[in-house]
Structure 1
Amino acid sequence: MTEHATTSDKRLSRATAIAWLWRRLSRWPLPRLWRFASTLGPLVYCFSRRERNVTDINLKVVYPALDQRKRRALAKQSLRHSTATMMELGYAWMAEPDRVEASIVEVHGRDKLDSARAQGRGVIVLAPHFGNWEVLNFWLSSHFPFTAMYEPPKITNLEPIIRHGRERMGAQLVPTNPRGVAALLKALKRSEAIGILPDQEPDWGSGVFAPFYSRDAYTATLLPKLVARTQARVVTGVALRLPGRGFAIHFLDADERVYSADETESASGVNASVEASIALEPAQYQWEYKRYRKVIEEQQQNPNANDFRLY
């Protein structure tokens, strides 16, 4: 057996095990999933050094006035919610649609989407990594023609399962390339809704540095291009977890700067919009993501640039 075949077999076995776990957990009621996450969360904080360290650093940057004891408590709560999100993936992708729909017990701000579409305008939903964004995708694609960009998982054998889960209520997934951008533009011109992840670091050359909690973070500039060509409205959308009960969907007006033709100004509005959603409940944001990652290319091109390395 070749080394390549051995690696492929290991990936297939891993994918099979993960898919089995998702199916198993999809049958669990939400209160049980939350209890399970509440048990695992403290273990993640204790034994997952990378997630703990990145979360602690991010919280120290964005909440400098918070004392160490309160920051540590917030970090533990955050990792509990992130664990819950992972436990709920099978639920969002594989549970009976009626069950998932019934678990969405509140929807706030739907009128912002309905009003824009009634005016013949598309809607760009900024969907940060907050609460359970897969439940948000479920609701959006259940109620509106909805298109979102999609990047295949590193474990390629899981792609059909993840793709089916995200598309099962009618969502259209498009690649993260010019063809995908063209599909987003067409959807907006049809007065449909599209989803954008506003808090992932883009490829070099596809973003600008803009403040996120008063410290510069590399931020994508796709949004002003889409707005300029379609006159779409922009809202922030999240699925807030109500532990043991379900979820509350919130749509918030985006910061007005997102409509600026200036890319840095627009990116600043995007980050401010993410901050506003985090304010709903800071513990539900995925703080273990390296939002302030050092961009080596920036330092190579500009030796006097600020040092963004925190991690």
Structure 2
Amino acid sequence: MIEGLQARAIHLLWRLLSHCRLKTMWSLAGVAARVLYAVSRRERHVSRRNLEVAYPGDNGEQRRSRIQASLRHSAATMLELGFAWIAAPRRVDASIVEVHGRELLDEARAEDRGVIVLAPHFGNWEVLNFWLSSHFPFTAMYEPPKMADLDPVIRHGRERMGAELVPTNPRGVAALLKALKRAEAVGILPDQEPDWGSGVFADFFGRPAYTATLLPKLVARTQARVVTGVARRLPEGRGFAIHFLAADERVYDTDEKVSALGVNACVESAIALDPVQYQWEYKRWKKTEQEQQLVPGYRKHRLYSKR
């Protein structure tokens, strides 16, 4: 009962926000980020620790500025969900004012090859999904939300331009393979820690991170081209720029560890477009810590330990 009321309230909020201008949501995100920075110790702490790994040369003020800017972009993404999923398609399409690297996708399809789009948590990945599914047959894995009543809303929002959502299980992997063999595009998350047994440790900003090994399996069976795709937020809510970047050549290696290094290098290249647009509050090195729990001195050097 309570969950149903919460889901309806969230859906109503998304509908209301879908009518707002991007500039308005960017302003609201600024307010939300200040509140988050002040009251959410967890978000502030995890972002700081991750940024200490990624940018060790930053001084305290530079790191604090990155955290605040990153939280604002994360807040903007949450506020823009209704826009990406519910607003009139012409409005969302008009918000995409630049597209870079589309030729990488067109060339692959001209060669009758599928395209695997690595879509890290950067900028607004829902806008990227909108663009991809508007221009190409597109398949992506989808895990239903914990709040089940929101599932139809999210699913409809992501599928409304023609995307096909498949489950995060062997049946979903089979669907991705079929789509690639039809020379279509598929999207996978390259920067989310997989379950134990589904990944390998590979350096990400110089620190081992548990990284999924789905990509080399897909490439080996389909000879698909790999690109990195992001929707970068333009300053002051002016819209979005879509970027497709050629993948690090190591992603095509049959050795899963080498391929994983290539995947993480792809994510690093996307982050370099504008580092504060990455979702730094995610515990990307959590499984690295779990692996090291029996190492002497572990607690002393633990990345996410509370201070």
For 1:137 and 1:151, locate their aligned partners in 2 and report how far apart those are by CA, in whole Å. Answer: 15
For 2:243 and 2:267, locate their aligned partners in 1 and report how far apart those are by CA, in whole Å. Answer: 13
Match of 1:131 in 2: 123
Work out whether residues 294 and 309 of structure 1, in 8 Å CA contact, stay in contact via their aligned partners in 2.
no
Alpha carbons of structure 1 residues 296 and 39: separation in structure 2 relative to 1, 3 Å: closer
For 2:44 and 2:287, locate their aligned partners in 1 and report how far apart those are by CA, in whole Å. Answer: 19
Work out whether residues 294 and 310 of structure 1, in 8 Å CA contact, stay in contact via their aligned partners in 2.
no
Alpha carbons of structure 1 residues 278 and 295: separation in structure 2 relative to 1, 3 Å: closer
Do structure 1's residue 216 and structure 2's residue 204 form an aligned pair? no
Work out whether residues 188 and 194 of structure 1, in 8 Å CA contact, stay in contact via their aligned partners in 2.
yes
Do structure 1's residue 73 and structure 2's residue 85 form an aligned pair? no
- Normalised by the length of structure 2, the TM-score is 0.95
Q: Detail structure 1 runs of 4+ shifted over 6 Å in the superposition.
A: none
Superposed CA deviations along residues 111-167 of structure 1, whole A, max 9, x for unmatched, are 000000000000000000000000000000000000000001011110000000000
Length, aligned pairs only: 301
* 1:140-151 alignment, distance < 5 Å: 140-151=132-143
Match of 1:101 in 2: 93
Shift of 1:205: 0.1
Do structure 1's residue 158 and structure 2's residue 158 form an aligned pair? no
Q: Percent identity?
A: 69
Alpha carbons of structure 1 residues 305 and 174: separation in structure 2 relative to 1, 3 Å: farther
Do structure 1's residue 170 and structure 2's residue 170 form an aligned pair? no
Do structure 1's residue 53 and structure 2's residue 45 form an aligned pair? yes
Do structure 1's residue 258 and structure 2's residue 238 form an aligned pair? no
Task: Find the residue that maps to 1:251 and give its secondary structure.
Answer: strand
Work out whether residues 198 and 219 of structure 1, in 8 Å CA contact, stay in contact via their aligned partners in 2.
yes
For structure 1, the 5+ residue unaligned runs are 1-8
Alpha carbons of structure 1 residues 283 and 118: separation in structure 2 relative to 1, 3 Å: same
For structure 2, the 5+ residue unaligned runs are none
* 1:1-311 alignment, distance < 5 Å: 9-242=1-234, 243-294=236-287, 298-299=291-292, 303=294, 309-311=302-304
For 1:309 and 1:267, locate their aligned partners in 2 and report how far apart those are by CA, in whole Å. Answer: 24
Aligned residue type for 2:247: A
Shift of 1:48: 1.2
For 2:203 and 2:296, locate their aligned partners in 1 and report how far apart those are by CA, in whole Å. Answer: 15
CA RMSD of aligned residues (A): 1.5
- Normalised by the length of structure 1, the TM-score is 0.94
Superposed CA deviations along residues 275-295 of structure 1, whole A, max 9, x for unmatched, are 000000000000000001035
